Amino acid sequence: MTETSQGSSFHSMWRELLPIGRHPDSHGYRRFAWTGADTECRAWFKEQAETRGLTYEVDRNGNQWAWLGDPTAGDAVVTGSHLDSVPDGGAFDGPLGVVSAFAALDELRARRAEFARPLALVNFGDEEGARFGLACVGSRLTAGQLTVEQAHRLTDGDGVTLPRAMEAAGHDPDGIGADPERLARIGAFVELHVEQGRALDLSGDRVGIASAIWPHGRWRFDFRGEANHAGTTRLVDRRDPMLSYAETVLAARREAELAGAVATFGKISVEPNGVNAIPSLVRGWLDSRAADQESLDQVVGGIEKAAREYADAHGVDLDIVRESFTPVVEFDHALRDELARILGTDTDLKVPVLGTGAGHDAGILSGSIPTAMLFVRNPTGVSHSPAESAAEDDCLAGVLALADVLEGLACR
């Protein structure tokens, strides 16, 4: 890190972001797309861009961009991540990549680097999908992986549609949709992210390069039975969807173990949701991921089969809807090798290459442009929780690695 200390630029940005959207009781972040906390984060991004004299713009899908050099020149190098969070998420998932992007630019300016390609810093909208149920909405729209019609049907828990939510937050939703012209101007996208696992902790490395993202998806299970009195309805007379749901949760664990995959029911809604009423509806959302498509098919197929059997056994109707799916992503081999070459020239920095079960905007964009990812060590591996962490030194090592990568790709 150079003397002007990009460490201090990193710290001051980090301190500014830290209070935004943090719940006073849980200490977790609730930065949901197009809400007040998200708007504050977006204002912070705009200010960072303007403070640095970068050309600021919001694209048709609400993603924020900060350009150094001519945005229309083509072959741009882009870095960044997202600022939204899961319910009660940690401070690092997303923001580390955005703050590191600005800090890396500060580092390159301190090095007096001369840019040969345009550089853009980006904050993708609604990466986590916490509000509308679909992850990576901003990058999916841009890449044409989410149609305008599908986007119009996205609705939050209060019945607010995505376009209305955008509008309420001051973004005109009329122009949303695929943006191939923008993607055509990008030569490479590199996303830095906190690791969401312990591979780097176990290998003793501060920074790693991503190899692949597991195929993953979300499925909604609607178990419909019959609401009735909890005190007066004999057990044999019940059609209780909670029972089939509970058995399905246990089946998911079993099937995931069998397939060497992961399966999680992390969200549930119950109707009528009364302590003294047998439910009429239990709606549970399954998130499942595996290293390859075959294992994912096996685990989800096994869970569906078990769920139908349990539903039948309790006289309950079952509908299963696949709400989203992202196929396996192999990051661009040439770009990955280039990153390894750039970072390998630093004598101390070994760069392990690792796969991940977490989804990212980089994964979505990899279908359209060369993308790569850098991971920063997470000492506990905990993520999507207020306990998510990364050591200060490791974050600064990440900034330097990103600066080296950007210098190698974009500078003379």
Whichever of 320 and 382 has its CB closer to Mn ion, that residue is 382
**94 binds, options Mn ion, ligand HGY, none, Cβ within 5 to 8 A by partner type:** Mn ion
Closest by Cα among 56, 51, 41, 43 to 120: 56
Written as six digits, the tokens of 336 are 């990955």
**In the complex, residue closest to Mn ion by CB:** 93
Is 164 annotated in a binding site? The answer is no
Residues 6 or more apart in contact with residue 175 via CB below 8 angstroms: 60
Whichever of 127 and 404 has its CB closer to ligand HGY, that residue is 127
Runs of H (alpha helix) within 159-240: 162-168, 180-184, 199-203
Residues 6 or more apart in contact with residue 149 via CB below 8 angstroms: none
CB neighbourhood size of 73 (10 A):
11
Q: Which amino acid does the sequence have at 56?
A: Y
| Beta-strand relationship, 262-271 and 329-330 | unpaired
Is 384 annotated in a binding site? The answer is yes
Rounded to a whole number of angstroms, the minimum distance from the CB of residue 154 to ligand HGY is 15
User: Where in 111-140 is the site for Mn ion (CB under 5 A)?
Assistant: none
Q: Which of 38, 107, 128, 338 binds ligand HGY (CB under 6 A)?
A: 128
User: Where in 74-103 is the site for Mn ion (CB under 5 A)?
Assistant: 93-94
Closest by Cα among 320, 32, 321 to 153: 321
Rounded to a whole number of angstroms, the minimum distance from the CB of residue 40 to ligand HGY is 21
Interaction between residue 135 and ligand HGY (CB under 6 A)? yes
Residues 6 or more apart in contact with residue 16 via CB below 8 angstroms: 44
Rounded to a whole number of angstroms, the minimum distance from the CB of residue 293 to Mn ion is 22
Whichever of 278 and 290 has its CB closer to ligand HGY, that residue is 290
User: Where in 332-391 is the site for ligand HGY (CB under 6 A)?
Assistant: 358-359
Interaction between residue 134 and ligand HGY (CB under 6 A)? no
Interaction between residue 84 and ligand HGY (CB under 6 A)? no
Written as six digits, the tokens of 285 are 């959302």
The Cα–Cα gap between 409 and 102 comes to 16
Site residues (CB under 6 A) for ligand HGY?
A: 127-128, 135-136, 358-359
Site residues (CB under 5 A) for Mn ion?
A: 93-94
Annotated binding site: 82, 93, 128, 193, 218, 276, 289, 384
